[in-house]
């Protein structure tokens, strides 16, 4: 199944856009807004894929994440636009498995424990090119754990006005 949307705004009280079960979606010149605890702007899972072009994502609420992939074979490609998340432990981009690739975008997060980019687990990757990440308060601009991959090319990272770090990485346990 493939879908293309050209509406000016997609708003939701929870996950604004969910793509799953091998489906694909293209969004261009859109706005995605979600404002509730645990909200996702866009979520791709179970081998689903998405292309976003000049699309702005804004999520607010504790544990709210802008773009999320959480299964191997799923991916989100983002070209242009802004991604903003606000709330305790909110993430701009979160890959638990699968891939997120971003070109020419601005990502900002604010809130205690906020993270601009979080890749977690051996099957997770996030790549940014010609982009910027800004995290306000106590958070990290970019983090990779458990064997995940982060690839940053011509990308600026700015973290925490009160505390935080630009990058944070942990290695997986020895096998």
**Residue 136: what pLDDT?**
86
Return the DSSP state at 89.
T
Q: pTM here?
A: 0.87
Degrees, nearest 5: CA angle 88-61-129:
75
List pLDDT tens digits, range 13-64.
Answer: 568 899 999 999 999 999 999 998 998 999 999 999 999 999 999 999 999 9
Q: Is the pLDDT of residue 123 over 70?
A: yes
Q: What is the rounded CA–CA span in Å between residue 144 and residue 97? A: 12
Contacts 24+ apart (CB under 8 A), 5-14: 5/30, 6/30, 9/33, 12/39, 14/38, 14/39, 14/40
Starting at the edge strand that comes first in sequence, how are the strands of the sheet with 56-60 ordered? 10-12, 31-35, 56-60, 82-86, 106-110, 132-136, 156-159
Q: Is the pLDDT of residue 3 over 90?
A: no
CA dihedral sign of residues 15, 146, 149, 48: negative
Distance between terminal CA atoms of the chain? Answer: 40
Closest CA to 50 of 78, 29, 31: 78
In terms of pLDDT, which residue wins out, 167 or 129? Answer: 129
List pLDDT tens digits, range 139-170.
Answer: 889 999 999 999 999 999 988 654 444 554 45
**Residue 138: what pLDDT?**
74
Summary mean pLDDT of the chain: 87
List pLDDT tens digits, range 72-91.
Answer: 999 999 999 999 999 999 99
Name which of 28-32, 121-125, 130-134, 155-159 the model is least confident about: 155-159
What average pLDDT score do residues 124-132 get?
Answer: 97
């Amino acid at each position: 199944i493939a879908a293309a949307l050209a509406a000016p705004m997609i708003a939701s009280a929870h996950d604004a856009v969910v793509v799953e079960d091998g489906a694909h979606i293209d969004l261009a010149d859109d706005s995605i807004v979600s404002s509730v605890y645990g909200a996702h702007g866009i979520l791709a899972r179970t081998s689903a894929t998405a292309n976003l072009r000049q699309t702005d994502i804004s999520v607010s609420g504790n544990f709210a994440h802008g773009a999320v992939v959480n299964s191997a074979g799923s991916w989100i490609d983002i070209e242009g636009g802004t991604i903003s998340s606000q709330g305790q432990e909110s993430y701009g981009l979160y890959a638990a498995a699968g891939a997120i690739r971003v070109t020419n975008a601005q990502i900002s997060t604010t809130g205690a424990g906020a993270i601009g980019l979080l890749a977690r687990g051996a099957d997770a990757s996030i790549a940014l090119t010609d982009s910027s990440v800004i995290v306000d308060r106590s958070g990290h601009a970019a983090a990779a754990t458990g064997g995940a991959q982060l690839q940053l090319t011509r990308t600026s990272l700015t973290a925490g006005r009160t505390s935080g770090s630009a990058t944070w990485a942990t290695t997986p346990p020895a096998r």
